[in-house]
């Protein structure tokens, strides 16, 4: 089986490779059409990546993969999350502000959706939202640590 014929499977394999490095165990990994996000991590541990992420550079793909996998350990974008991102994806801040983000023209960002039960889903992509409509995340999900973008 040629890997170039199965790009979604290659992306899933890279997620699992990163999961081993980060010492996390996602419940499932999906690649599907997503209009507003590059990826998400559900409260059940499912990592979902946008199918058009396959059209992006590998370094950006790894940034999204690591970002979502980190949410299996840390629910918020606090100091520890940012330190781990820097340890495993040096220069990730530069990618966060590029046109590779969907809705990059928006300066607002949805951190996560919540319901009364805790984390609903984390969003990596920029979204438009009204000022003052902030979303917060509560709790943690599973386990996570990181390594650099040379997967």
Q: CATH no. for residue 12?
A: 3.30.2010.10
Residue 146 lies in a domain: no
Determine what percent of the chain is predicted with pLDDT higher than 90. 52
User: Looking at per-residue confidence, does 149 or 146 come out higher?
Assistant: 149
For the ranges 49-53, 59-63, 137-141, the lowest mean pLDDT is seen at 137-141
Residue 98 lies in a domain: yes
How far is it, in rounded angstroms, from Cα 75 to Cα 137? 7
How far is it, in rounded angstroms, from Cα 97 to Cα 101? 7
Residue 110 lies in a domain: yes
Provide the pLDDT confidence category of residue 25 given band limits of 50, 70 and 90: very high
13 contacts: CB under 8 Å, gap ≥ 6: none
Q: Residue 52 sits in which domain range?
A: 3-122
pLDDT tens-place string over residues 109-131: 333 332 222 233 343 443 322 33
Residue 59 lies in a domain: yes
Provide the pLDDT confidence category of residue 98 given band limits of 50, 70 and 90: low
Given a cut of 80, is residue 82 above it in pLDDT?
yes
Residue 98 · residue 57 · CB < 8 Å = no
Whether the pTM exceeds 0.85: the reply is no
Residue 25 lies in a domain: yes
Q: How many domains does the chain have?
A: 1
Residue 134 lies in a domain: no
Given a cut of 90, is residue 104 above it in pLDDT?
no
Residue 133 lies in a domain: no
Residue 90 lies in a domain: yes
pLDDT in the model for residue 118: 29
């Amino acid at each position: 089986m040629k890997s170039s014929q199965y790009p979604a499977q290659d992306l899933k394999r890279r997620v699992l490779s990163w999961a081993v490095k980060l010492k996390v165990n996602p419940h499932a990994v999906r690649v599907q059409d997503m209009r507003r996000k590059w990826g998400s991590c559900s409260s059940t541990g499912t990592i979902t990546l946008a199918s058009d992420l396959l059209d992006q550079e590998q370094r950006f793909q790894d940034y999204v993969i690591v970002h979502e996998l980190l949410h299996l350990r840390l629910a918020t974008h606090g100091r520890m999350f940012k330190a781990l991102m820097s340890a495993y994806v040096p220069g990730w801040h530069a990618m966060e502000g590029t046109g590779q983000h969907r809705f990059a023209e928006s300066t607002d960002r949805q951190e996560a959706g919540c319901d009364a039960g805790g984390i609903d889903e984390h969003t990596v992509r920029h979204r438009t939202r009204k000022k003052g409509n902030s979303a917060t995340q509560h709790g943690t999900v599973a386990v996570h640590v990181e390594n650099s973008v040379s997967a």
